[in-house]
Amino acid sequence: MNAVITGSNRGIGNAIMHTFAHNKYNIWACARTPSESFESEINQLSKSCGVSIEPVYFDLADENAVKAGVKQIFSYKKSVDVLVNNAGMGHGGTLMMTPVSKLREVYEINVFAQIHMMQLISRAMTRQQSGSIINICSVGGMEVGKGYIAYGSSKAAMIWLTKAAAKELGEFGIRVNGIAPGLTDTEMGHYKSDEEIQKVFDRTVIKRFGKPEEIAQGALYLASDAAAFITGQILVIDGGRVI
Ligand SMILES: NC(=O)c1ccc[n+]([C@@H]2O[C@H](COP(=O)([O-])OP(=O)(O)OC[C@H]3O[C@@H](n4cnc5c(N)ncnc54)[C@H](OP(=O)(O)O)[C@@H]3O)[C@@H](O)[C@H]2O)c1
C-alpha cells in the first residue's frame, strides 16, 4: 500500500510516517522545506522497515507548488491508496483581534490547500476505484471556545468538508474520514499558555497531552481494511475531553 502524508517532517505527521512505515506502507513524505536531516531520517526509516519513502517538497500556501508536488507523486505510476492531510497551522486570536488577512492565511493552509490535495489525489483514487483519505481536524473545530476564531473555524470547516467529501466520493470506492486530536505533545500543542493547558487537562478524563503516536494509530486504523465500513466519521482522540 502507498500513502501520501503531508507535514511528515515533524509532530503528528512525523509519527504517522513512522507508524505507516513500520506497517509496510510505502510513503510519499511531504514536507515544506528540503533538509538533509529529514532525508537521512527517511533513508534510515525506509531501510529499517524495508519500504520506499520518497520526499516530496512543497509549500501548501503555493497552489502551483502543490500541483507540482502531486504531479511528482503521480510520476511514480503507483497506486495512491491513502492520503493523510495532516499539515496545518495554529493561530490564537479573538474575533476583534484577528485581521481578515490572518484569517485568509490560516484558511489558505488549513482549508483551501486541504481541499486542493483531496481534489488532486482523489482523481487517481477515482481511476483506481479505491482509496482512503484522512483529514487531521481538531477538537478545536467541535468545541466553541474564545480566542481561536481562525483556527477553530478552519477546523470546523474541515469536519464539514470531510463528511461532504465522503458522500461525494463514496461511489468511487473512496472513504473519507477525519481525526480530531485533543491537545497533543508537539510544537503546536505547546502553543497554549500553561494556564490554558491546565484548563484543558481539568476537563479531560486522562489528564495529559496525547502522544503523536496515539494519533498515528488512529490514522493507521482508518487507512486499513479493518475500517472498510467506516466513512464520513470523525475519530476523536483526546483523552476523554468532556465537551
Ligand atoms: N498538537 C495539537 O495539540 C493538535 C491538536 C489538534 C489538531 N492538531 C492538528 O494536527 C496537525 C498536525 O499538527 P502538529 O501538532 O503536528 O503541528 P506542528 O508540530 O506544528 O507541525 C505542523 C506541520 O505542518 C507543516 N506545515 C505547516 N504549514 C505548512 C505549509 N504552508 N506548507 C507545508 N507544510 C506546512 C509543518 O511544516 P514546517 O516544519 O515546514 O513548519 C509541520 O510539518 C495539524 O493539522 C493540527 O492542526 C494538532
DSSP 181-215: E-SBSSTGGGGS-HHHHHHHHHTBSS-SPBPHHHH
Does domain 2-237 fall into CATH 3.30.300.30?
A: no
- Contacts (Cβ under 8 Å, ≥6 apart) of 238: 139, 180, 181, 182, 183, 204, 210
What percentage of the chain reaches a pLDDT higher than 70?
99
For residue range 33-51, what is the model confidence (pLDDT) as tens digits? 999 999 999 999 999 999 9
Please give the pLDDT value at position 3.
98
Strand partners, 175: 132
Q: How far is the CA of 5 from the centre of ligand 1 (A)?
A: 12
Q: Select from 84, 89, 196, 234 the residue to mutate for testing ligand 1; criterion: most ligand atoms less than 8 Å from CB.
A: 89
Ligand 1 centre distance from Cα of residue 60 (Å): 11
pLDDT at position 241, please? 87
How many H helices and E strands in the chain? 8, 7
Question: What residue owns the CA closest to ligand 1's atom 8?
Answer: 138
Distance 134 CA to ligand 1 centre (A): 15
Q: Which residues are near ligand 1 (CB < 6 Å)?
A: 7, 9-13, 32-33, 59-61, 86-89, 109, 136, 138, 181, 183-184, 186-189
Question: What is the pTM (predicted TM-score) of this model?
Answer: 0.98
pLDDT of residue 192: 86
pLDDT under 70: residue ranges of the chain = 242-243
pLDDT tens column, 94-113: 999 999 999 999 999 999 99
**Residue the block writes with cell 522497515:** 49
Per-residue model confidence (pLDDT) at position 243: 54
Name residues whose C-beta falls within 8 Å of residue 191's C-beta, 6 or more positions apart in sequence.
90, 92
* Residue extents of the structural domains in the chain: 2-237
CA distance 216 to 233: 16
CA 186 to chain centre: 14
Strands (E), 53-128: 53-57, 82-85
Minimal-distance CA residue to ligand 1 atom 24 = 87
